[in-house]
Structure 1
Amino acid sequence: MIKLENITKVFPSKNGNVTAVNNVNLHVKKGEIHGVIGYSGAGKSTLIRLVNLLEKPNSGTVTINGTELTALSNENLRKMRQKIGMIFQHFNLMKTATVYENVATPLRLLGLNKTEVKERVEKYLKIVDLGDREDSYPSQLSGGQKQRVAIARALSQEPEILLSDEATSALDPETTNSILDLLLKINKELGITILLITHEMSVIQKICDDVSVLENGEIVEQRSSIELFTDPRHKTTKKFLDTISQRKLSASLINQLKLNGTVTSLTFIGESAGEPLLAQVIEKFKVKPNILTANIMELKNGIVGNLIIHLVGEQDQINASLTFLNDQGVVTEEVEGE
């Protein structure tokens, strides 16, 4: 659906050229929600603007649904952009226009007649649960409602792709969840492919099928969300996961608790998260697991549980218990103090 191949974008500056995106390859499948996560300055906003060529790459190709955008004339590019909706962090609404007019104005510019405009505005305001706010002005809306107007405006052009540029980062947690639920609904019911960028791992956790981790303009890890949450490989990915799940213990805490022996992280995937496997370990191997931290996360396509335990017992029995857990589909990793 979306293919970025060997994309590089360089910006000139007083102190020399700055490479914002460096030789990136990104493939987004039709109908999925793909998240790109990275810290500030990683190149996320530049990357997403390269998808619809609001930023033109210095090298590489952008292909949407089999059409290479980088090879199109300006006129044909404008037509292709009608298939790509975009929502932004700060909504970009017209302050002096009503909700109805904010959604209707772009449709008029596309040449739709009055009846078509009315039908689309009403349809998509209803989808975002703002059917009763047509005559309101942006100043009368909450932040979440403003973002819903922006989403309705993007959807009203009936795109095949929706780009989300940090669309929830200006919102409080409760409102963020409601907007993410709306994006899930749009993806499921309308079949729209969504590419979003974020610096919040909780956003990735809730709605993404696949994830790309961006650092210094390069993709350092690209995998399914389940794989990313259960077996992170790059240090940046692990840092992001630490923001929502304690996966390490400080050396001082290990010392304070006098944890001699084996301290292990256990990651349970899917059905194994609901199995009483530690009880079986106690019974089978006569070891004593001391639970230090525990949490469970619901991803879009599965459940992941994480425990950090201190195992007490004979070393050969500890080793056997870890082998047993591995055989049951549990990922085990020795924990070292930070």
Structure 2
Amino acid sequence: MIQLRNVVKTFDTKQGVVEAVKDVNLHVKKGEIHGVIGYSGAGKSTLIRCVNLLERPTSGEVIINGIELTSLKLPQLREVRQNIGMIFQSFNLLKTATVFENITIPLRLLNISNEEANERAERYLEIVGLSERKNAYPSQLSGGQKQRVAIARALSQEPEVLLSDESTSALDPETTDSILDLLLKINKELGITILLITHEMNVIQKICDHVYVMERGQVIEEGTTIELFTKPKNPTTQKFLNAVSQRQLAPALIEQLTLEGYILRLTFVGDATGDPLIASLTEKFHVKPNILSANIIELKNGIVGNLVIHLEGQRDEKIVQYLTANGVYVEEVL
């Protein structure tokens, strides 16, 4: 549904040429939710604006539903853009228009009849749960309600693709969860393909099927959400995960315990999260694991458990082999 092939975006500045996006490739299949995560300045916003050509790539291809956008003339591009909805962090609502008018005015600009525009506004306000607020003005709404209006406005064009540019970063955690639940509902019930950017790992955790990690304009790691939560390779990915999975231990503690033995980080996926493997280590290998940290993370498509244990004595490769054979990913913490 969405393909970026070797996309590059550069800007000419007084200091010289800035490469905001460097040779990025991604592929979002129809009906999936993909997320791009990175710190500020990673190039995320520029990348997502290249998808609908709000920023025209310097080079590379942007393909939406089989159509290569960079080759289109402006009238053709405008037509294709009607199939691409977008929601922003700042909501972008008309302050002097009611909720209902914020949805119908853009539709009328697309030459959609008043009757059809009104029907769509009613339908999508119902989906986002704001039918009773249709005559309110943006100043009378909470941040979460404003974002719901923005989502209804994007849906009213009945797109196949929805782009989300940090749409939850200005919201409190509870409101963020409600917006993420709404995006999941839209994806499931309407079959809309979603590409979002964020700097919040909990957003990726809750709704994404696939994730791309960006740094300095490049995708430095990608994979299914379960793959990245299970086996993060890049240090930047690991930093993001530390915030939600308690992977990080104090260096002083690591130094002290490794003098007396060794520390293992164990990652359990799916059914393995319910197996009493740690208890069986005592029975099979006569060791007494000391649990340093533990948690279970529920992802959109599965469950990942994280456990950090300390074992006294020299490293026993048989223990590692036993855990690996039972579906556990094992890392030694140094």
- Post-superposition Cα deviations, 1:55-106, rounded to whole Å, max 9, x if no partner, equal 0011111011110001111000000000000000010000111000001111
Q: CA deviation at 1:11?
A: 0.5
Question: Paired residue for 2:27?
Answer: 27
Could you tell me how far apart the structure 2 residues matched to 1:138 and 1:250 are?
A: 46
- Post-superposition Cα deviations, 1:113-147, rounded to whole Å, max 9, x if no partner, equal 12111110000000000011000011111000000
Question: Paired residue for 2:318?
Answer: 320
Question: Paired residue for 1:218?
Answer: 218
- Post-superposition Cα deviations, 1:26-56, rounded to whole Å, max 9, x if no partner, equal 1111110000001100000000000000000
Could you tell me how far apart the structure 1 residues matched to 2:174 and 2:72 are?
A: 42
| Amino acid paired to 1:84 | I
8 Å CA contact 1:259–1:310 kept in 2: the answer is no
Could you tell me how far apart the structure 2 residues matched to 1:75 and 1:120 are?
A: 24
Could you tell me how far apart the structure 2 residues matched to 1:258 and 1:192 are?
A: 50
Q: CA deviation at 1:256?
A: 5.4
Alignment of 1:156-167 (within 5 A): 156-167=156-167
Unaligned runs of 5+ in 1: none
Alignment of 1:196-211 (within 5 A): 196-211=196-211
| Amino acid paired to 2:187 | N
| Amino acid paired to 1:35 | G
Alignment of 1:193-272 (within 5 A): 193-255=193-255, 260-272=260-272
Runs of 4+ with deviation above 6 angstroms? none
| Amino acid paired to 1:153 | R
Could you tell me how far apart the structure 2 residues matched to 1:91 and 1:229 are?
A: 31
Q: CA deviation at 1:259?
A: 5.7
Question: Paired residue for 1:273?
Answer: 273
Say yes or no: does 1:146 pair with 2:149. Answer: no
Say yes or no: does 1:298 pair with 2:298. Answer: yes
How many percent identity over aligned positions? Answer: 67
SS at match of 1:322: helix
SS at match of 1:93: coil
Alignment of 1:96-115 (within 5 A): 96-115=96-115
SS at match of 1:232: coil
Could you tell me how far apart the structure 1 residues matched to 2:227 and 2:255 are?
A: 32
8 Å CA contact 2:7–2:60 kept in 1: the answer is yes
Unaligned runs of 5+ in 2: none
Could you tell me how far apart the structure 1 residues matched to 2:258 and 2:157 are?
A: 62
Q: Please report the TM-score for the alignment, with normalisation by the length of structure 2.
A: 0.98
- Post-superposition Cα deviations, 1:272-329, rounded to whole Å, max 9, x if no partner, equal 011111111111111111000001100000000001000135x47x322221110010
Alignment of 1:31-50 (within 5 A): 31-50=31-50
- Post-superposition Cα deviations, 1:225-256, rounded to whole Å, max 9, x if no partner, equal 01010001111111111111221322212345
Alignment of 1:55-66 (within 5 A): 55-66=55-66
Say yes or no: does 1:329 pair with 2:323. Answer: no
**How many residues were matched structurally?**
334
Could you tell me how far apart the structure 2 residues matched to 1:184 and 1:160 are?
A: 15
Could you tell me how far apart the structure 1 residues matched to 2:292 and 2:206 are?
A: 25
Alignment of 1:41-190 (within 5 A): 41-190=41-190
Could you tell me how far apart the structure 2 residues matched to 1:272 and 1:259 are?
A: 30
Q: CA deviation at 1:257?
A: 5.8
